[in-house]
Amino acid sequence: MTLNEMVSFYTLATQTQDEYGTLSSTRTLVTTAWAKVRPLSGRERNQSDQTEESAMYRFWIHQRSDISGSHILVWNGTDYNISFVADNGPKEPYMYLDAVRGVAV
């Protein structure tokens, strides 16, 4: 399997409030990894007079224990919400993550 795409994993650290009361979240980089990326599905829907699109992707990475569904995956500058982490056990060389683009992170 060729892992030829660099992905980053972040955790939302804290929410800070500026002088105007606006909340903003800060991110902390957990790790980066090489991945194989494949699109799985996509959809488009109308909600509140707006068109929303989302797409599901599968990311294969080397087996590791420090990645969970609470992390944010970033690939090519786009945020992905991790929806599933497939852990096939410590003897497997690869694990895969299903992540959604276009939904709230």
Q: Check: CB of residue 31 under 8 Å from CB of residue 69.
A: no
| CA distances, 81 to each of 5, 50, 53 (Å) | 17, 21, 14
pLDDT score at 8:
97
CA proximity to 40, closest of 23, 52, 57: 57
pLDDT score at 74:
95
pLDDT score at 50:
63
pLDDT score at 80:
94
Q: Check: CB of residue 45 under 8 Å from CB of residue 74.
A: no
pLDDT score at 100:
93
Query: Which parts of the chain sit beneath pLDDT 50?
Result: none
**Range list of β-strands (E), 18-86:** 23-47, 50-62, 72-75, 78-86
Candidate CATH numbers 3.30.70.260, 2.40.10.270, 3.40.640.10, 3.30.1450.10; the one for domain 5-101:
2.40.10.270
Instruction: Record the pTM.
Output: 0.80
